[in-house]
Structure 1
């Protein structure tokens, strides 16, 4: 009997050893992932925390204390008041909103319509038109600034925010059209054919069937285009010729010079407000995108 049970005991022992090894490997992977995640979180969060703490420091603290020292008063918001009043940050933010919101709406609306027409509708020459949009992606933005400035000057558009709106829309439209055409490619043609047989027009099929199916892609592209337009410096710096027309990025560029080379507190406060605003918008749109994806998967 002992001879018969010996292999069974050996087998159970080997299985136990394999189980322990597997457990140790999984535990080691979990620890490694946790360490890596913590390191990435520290790398991302540390500059934001340092920026916010620096915005609470006084001028004397910047001159006397080390760079990474904590502020003496965590409720010192005078720098934020100076950034909004003396630094005209509210005016710069208003100009950014006026320039970005219409540009984003036109880019998304025209890009979604063009993507639908180029991918779903059948008409002669759509391949050539799509290649023209792709050619627009390959043109560097730096090459068109001087010709655009000449055109805007001769058209009498300088001295306003129209050059920014037109340029942002024209630069963002090729990529938006190409991406939306790619997403419309995944829309089942049977649904559109069934809608046509039921008597739906092209516009009805677009707004009632195609657009709801790609709404998550629209949110994604809108998020990408928003950050491109809001964080733009080159175009805004080229076409804004007065302090009253500066966007927030151009205003931050001259912020340090306005307060002098040693006024770091108001500068950090202005940057903190800009970062906080864009971060909140990103979190809001990200939640909307995730909610749309979850709802779509449940309905399907």
Structure 2
């Protein structure tokens, strides 16, 4: 029996571990599909931006006679940008967008954060019903309320100003803001507010000195989401702006046409570049705060 066991042991082949070179090669091969996917996604995102940027330096003749993938003949040609701001009134459109976006964003954030605090931190009868009413506002399509709102603004004499845009943007942005801020406040420990109450802090002091600073990163996240919605809006701005000097940048981009309705591609590309890359810089600048805000909104079970 001992002899047979010894023979089996000797006859059994030994298993050798793979060499370090083989392991590294296997890891590299496993990563190749991921690199290919990331590369394709980068091309899909970067190439349109590059094509937009190159188009802003082309002349009208280059757009009509050269291939679409051709590079501009003169990279220092800034005539399209100059024409976009002078003839195209791009500066006026940007100013109107800023004047409509900033007040609407301010009212949306202040009212939304206050409502989220009241619905999640404060204890009062009927808060669940009120939260459901806010959630119902998310499901109402904005297209359904444009005609009634236009009638109301006309009867109250608000047409001919930017107030219809500010009021509409605030009303449409509040339901989502309230829901998101209530979710963020849900992750704040209640012991903090209870300790503040024992120390004699009023509810207003708890909101401004404790609640508001603790969800600061979340506020940046919500504000950025609402900013892009308001800034990129076309339908509402096109409905309520009845004069050229009131048009926002999205509506103004529709007017880059020449004689007989011919599109001026160079100034149009330049104006779109100013709009796209301007908002892209804002997003990249606030990206870290957005990531922190999304992490802060994760509620542990």
Q: Structure 1 residues 155 and 262, CA, compared in 2 at 3 Å: closer, same or farther? A: closer
Partner residue in 2 for 1:223: 224
1:84 equivalent to 2:88? Answer: no
* Kept in 2: contact 1:111–1:173 (CA 8 A): yes
Q: How far off its partner does 1:271 sit?
A: 0.5
Q: Secondary structure at the match of 1:150?
A: helix
Q: Secondary structure at the match of 1:39?
A: helix
User: Which string of whole-angstrom CA distances, capped at 9 and with x for unpartnered residues, describes residues 88-135 of structure 1?
Assistant: 000000000000000000001100000000011001111111111111
Aligned partners of 1:260, 1:162: CA distance in 2, in Å? Answer: 31
Q: Secondary structure at the match of 2:123?
A: coil
Q: How far off its partner does 1:41 sit?
A: 0.6
Partner residue in 1 for 2:14: 10
**Which runs of structure 2 are paired with 1:58-97 in the superposition (5 Å)?**
58-97=59-98
Aligned partners of 1:180, 1:150: CA distance in 2, in Å? Answer: 32
Aligned partners of 2:50, 2:228: CA distance in 1, in Å? Answer: 21
Partner residue in 2 for 1:159: 160
Q: How far off its partner does 1:24 sit?
A: 3.9
Aligned partners of 1:106, 1:294: CA distance in 2, in Å? Answer: 25
* The 10-residue stretch of structure 1 (129-138 or 24-33) with the greater mean CA deviation from structure 2: 24-33
Q: Secondary structure at the match of 1:16?
A: coil
Aligned partners of 1:113, 1:69: CA distance in 2, in Å? Answer: 53
Partner residue in 2 for 1:298: none
Q: How far off its partner does 1:210 sit?
A: 2.0
Please, which runs of 5 or more residues in structure 2 have no aligned partner? 1-5, 297-301
Aligned length: 291
**Which runs of structure 2 are paired with 1:117-156 in the superposition (5 Å)?**
117-156=118-157
Q: Structure 1 residues 176 and 294, CA, compared in 2 at 3 Å: closer, same or farther? A: closer
Aligned partners of 2:182, 2:294: CA distance in 1, in Å? Answer: 19
**Which runs of structure 2 are paired with 1:15-34 in the superposition (5 Å)?**
15-16=17-18, 22-34=23-35
Aligned partners of 2:21, 2:14: CA distance in 1, in Å? Answer: 15
**Which runs of structure 2 are paired with 1:232-271 in the superposition (5 Å)?**
232-256=233-257, 260-271=261-272
- TM-score (norm. length: structure 1): 0.90
User: Which string of whole-angstrom CA distances, capped at 9 and with x for unpartnered residues, describes residues 252-278 of structure 1?
Assistant: 022236794242111111111111111
Q: Structure 1 residues 59 and 293, CA, compared in 2 at 3 Å: closer, same or farther? A: closer
- TM-score (norm. length: structure 2): 0.90
Q: Structure 1 residues 6 and 236, CA, compared in 2 at 3 Å: closer, same or farther? A: farther
* Kept in 2: contact 1:87–1:258 (CA 8 A): no
Aligned partners of 2:287, 2:260: CA distance in 1, in Å? Answer: 36
1:211 equivalent to 2:212? Answer: yes
User: Which string of whole-angstrom CA distances, capped at 9 and with x for unpartnered residues, describes residues 151-209 of structure 1?
Assistant: 00000000000000000000000110011011111111111111111222212222222
User: Which string of whole-angstrom CA distances, capped at 9 and with x for unpartnered residues, describes residues 61-114 of structure 1?
Assistant: 112211110111111111000000000000000000000000000001100000
> Normalized per residue, which structure has more helix?
1
Please, which runs of 5 or more residues in structure 1 have no aligned partner? 296-300
